[in-house]
A = this chain, B = another copy of it.
């Protein structure tokens, strides 16, 4: 007999596969709905929502939050700015960066899109899961996320 008590442990590769497949499908389904109703995709919605909730965030803040490269983030902000949803305000304490904020249109958009997003997400996730099983999953993923962020895991270079 092994000296360790055999503990019920997750099959990590299967867990990862399920994680990625759920993410892909939910993301795609939300994309479809947001695009048809508001002309944006989920990544844009997430940027806008973050800026609504963290006005004055910089490009680097968005990049860190979403674990995307700085370059990609800069381009994403360009696109939102070209649509008139985001404005780059001069940063008085550091002229290299800008403070990002939503325009009036941007705020309108994100508030409307949030309704669509939340509603669609609730449709996508079966009620049967919403109570205990998913609560446990949510707890675990929340902790996992905290650790990954603390250790700066999986940050792209650029």
Task: State whether the Cβ of A79 lies closer than 8 Å to any Cβ in chain B.
Answer: no
Number of this chain's copies in the complex: 2
B24 contacts A142, CB within 8 Å? no
Task: State whether the Cβ of A112 lies closer than 8 Å to any Cβ in chain B.
Answer: no
A156 contacts B28, CB within 8 Å? yes
Determine the distance from Cα of A18 to Cα of B148 in the docked complex, in whole angstroms: 11
Tell me the minimal C-beta distance from A50 to chain B in angstroms: 10
B144 contacts A129, CB within 8 Å? yes
Determine the distance from Cα of A68 to Cα of B27 in the docked complex, in whole angstroms: 12
A residues contacting the other copy or chain, number (CB 8 A): 59
Task: State whether the Cβ of A72 lies closer than 8 Å to any Cβ in chain B.
Answer: no
Determine the distance from Cα of A7 to Cα of B128 in the docked complex, in whole angstroms: 12
Task: State whether the Cβ of A89 lies closer than 8 Å to any Cβ in chain B.
Answer: no
Would A67 and B121 be within 8 Å (CB), given that A8-B131, A136-B140 are in contact?
no
Which chain B residue has the least Cβ–Cβ distance from A25? Answer: B154
Binding site for B on A (CB under 8 A): 7-29, 32, 46, 66-68, 117-118, 121-122, 124-126, 129-145, 147-149, 153-156
Q: What are 12 A-B contacts defined by CB distance under 8 Å? A: A10-B134, A13-B118, A15-B141, A16-B26, A16-B121, A18-B138, A19-B141, A22-B145, A24-B68, A25-B154, A26-B153, A124-B153
